[in-house]
A = this chain, B = another copy of it.
């Protein structure tokens, strides 16, 4: 059986036992959202928005492809964007990852061995845009508020939970929140981001006092427009200042 290669890259998978899954987070100034794909083909959908037919976006790894490159490729397919923030957070490889009957049935129906354990390298990514494809491989794609997702297909709920835990830890230590915001943002938007992701509420004055110490958060001579209240000042994150002034944390929690 001949296999016509039409791209310049060889597209052979390294094997069927390893995949990369990508937990794509987005922020709409109100909630933290995650991009989910319906595993049922668009044509065949009967019962809309059943969470247990929703999955994270995953894919196999090609022969000459780095793990992170595979995650970036998934992202590019869904957003058309490159150079997106990506972070490897955990690898999942329990032999009993798939237990539910409907998951096994889906795998069998899609030509895979439901008892074959797959090792999945998990990445999460942070998007500052809500522009994504609405369809991927003939399947519906859409944003869901993380707080409302209670059940997903396969073990993807566990993967999402671990991604969220990793994101929170990271956010507590490094200024990655900016990856979820447009280049120019207000302090209230930034505060809301921290509140939503960490699940806490923060005092406005104390928050502003704290961020005013961060030199890499630069105030612009520019204000919000078209809002029905006092317009907020806009800020940018200056990566260069951050890289030059960042210091290691040595406040240990023994």
Contact = CB atoms under 8 A, between A and B. Distances in A.
Interface in A182-228: 190, 194, 198, 200, 210-211, 214, 217
Contacts of A95: 63-66
A132 B41 CA distance: 54
A64 to B, nearest CB: 5
Nearest to A97: B66
Nearest to A93: B67
Name, among A88, A119, A174, A194, the residue most crowded by chain B CB atoms within 10 Å (CB to CB).
A119
Contacts of A94: 66-67
Interface in A48-67: 61, 63-67
A122 to B, nearest CB: 9
Interface string A212-254: 0010010000000000000000000000000000000111111
B66 A121 contact: no
How many copies the complex holds: the figure is 2
A198 B66 contact: no
Contacts of A17: 14-15, 17-18
A8 interface: no
A67 B67 CA distance: 18
A108 interface: no
Name, among A91, A200, A214, the residue most crowded by chain B CB atoms within 10 Å (CB to CB).
A91
Contacts of A81: none
A119 B173 contact: no
| Shortest Cβ-Cβ A-B pairs, 5 listed | A67-B93, A91-B91, A172-B252, A91-B121, A66-B94
9 contacts: A15-B17, A18-B93, A63-B95, A66-B95, A67-B94, A91-B91, A91-B121, A172-B249, A211-B254
